[in-house]
Amino acid sequence: MSTLEHIFLHSPDEPDAVAGRIAAAIGLQTSIGPEGGIYLSRPAQGGRGGEIGGEVTRNYLAYPSDVPEEQSLLDAYEILWDFGYTGVDRGVQLREARRVFEQLSAARLWPAVLVAGLDTLIAAWDPDLELTWFPPGTSPDADDRQAWQEYLVRLRH
């Protein structure tokens, strides 16, 4: 299980272009990491100090499959934003990720999903389906397909 939250975005654009649009839309700073990766960050807004954000990359976790039992909603998104908190407090990190996801959804840039630790689907946004907050414990994998199927269908049209 990942110790980060993750925001997956459905965009054909390159990660640097995606990061630039997100930064402009919801008030984050872009920077280039030591290995050339593009990062988004801003001060945490929960009053505890620290920074939130992380690297924006191609979705290196995608493993598309034609076998329904092996499919994951996450495989349909091209861009991955690894999201962390420098204060190393998972509760603050998740609250900040939810706040950023709400802002990102309101900006209406691209369809997106928010996942906690890669195994719990927190929310999804699509311009036609709007924002959905999923019940606790919802998986982005095939065992909870009924919960997120509409979002996947929208991506394929």
User: Helix, strand or coil for residue 19?
Assistant: helix
Identify whether the C-beta of residue 56 lies closer than 8 Å to the C-beta of residue 80.
yes
How many angstroms separate the CA atoms of 140 and 152, rounded? 11
3-state secondary structure of 43: strand
Q: Looking at beta carbons, which pairs linking 100-108 to residues 24 or more positions away fall under 8 Å?
A: 100/7, 100/26, 100/52, 101/7, 101/125, 102/131, 103/25, 103/26, 104/7, 104/22, 104/25, 104/26, 105/131, 107/22, 107/25, 107/26
pLDDT of residue 63: 78
Q: With 60 as the cut, is the pLDDT of residue 55 above it? A: yes
Cα(132)–Cα(111) distance, integer angstroms: 12
Q: What confidence tier does 4 reach under pLDDT thresholds 50, 70, 90?
A: very high
- The residue count of the chain comes to 157
Half-sphere exposure of 78 (CA within 13 A, CB side): 13
Q: Are 58 and 15 in contact (CB under 8 A)?
A: yes
**pTM for this one?**
0.94
pLDDT more than 70, % of the chain: 95
Q: How many Cβ atoms sit within 10 Å of the Cβ of residue 50? A: 16
Query: Which tens digit of pLDDT belongs to each residue from 96-137?
Result: 999 999 999 999 999 999 999 889 999 999 999 999 999 999
